[in-house]
Structure formats: C-alpha cells, structure tokens
C-alpha cells in the first residue's frame, strides 16, 4: 500500500515537472542565467509550484534534476 502511494506521488511530481520544464527552458533561452532569476520570473508571471506556493532556486533545481 505504501509503495503504491509513493509511486502515485512520484508520477504526479513527474507530470508536474514535465509541464513546467518547457517554461523553465524558455526562460533559460531568453537569457535567465541563474536558478534564482528563473524563480523570480516564474513568480512574477504567477506560475505556482505543485503545492500552490512560490518558486525558489531549490525548487527550480529540483525540477531540472527530475528531467
């Protein structure tokens, strides 16, 4: 039962990362050079994290590591 829950959470995180990754890549292509800079742009555009919060450099790093 616990394994199923972990698999479900992992799959959900993977789907979220897949949806946000193109936005992050777009910002990188537009000239954003740091994780903090990307987080600031996402927050300024109203893009929320999977839990509805604000972006930080570490959350951007987590998405990039997941990809």
Of residues 28 and 3, the one with the higher pLDDT is 28
Chain mean pLDDT for the chain = 94
Q: Over range 29-55, report the average pLDDT.
A: 96
Among 15, 41, 16, 18, residue whose Cα is nearest residue 28: 41
In this prediction the pTM is: 0.85
Whether the predicted pLDDT of 49 surpasses 90:
yes
Question: Virtual CA dihedral for 43, 44, 45, 46, nearest 10 degrees?
Answer: 50
Q: Mind listing the pLDDT tens digit for each residue in 4-32?
A: 888 988 999 999 999 999 999 999 999 99
- What is the average pLDDT across 26-44? 96
């Amino acid at each position: 039962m616990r394994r199923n829950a972990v698999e479900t959470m992992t799959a959900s995180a993977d789907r979220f990362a897949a949806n946000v990754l193109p936005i992050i890549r777009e910002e990188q292509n537009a000239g954003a050079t740091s994780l903090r800079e990307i987080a600031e742009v996402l927050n300024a555009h109203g893009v929320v994290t999977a839990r509805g919060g604000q972006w930080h450099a570490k959350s951007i790093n987590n998405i990039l590591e997941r990809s």
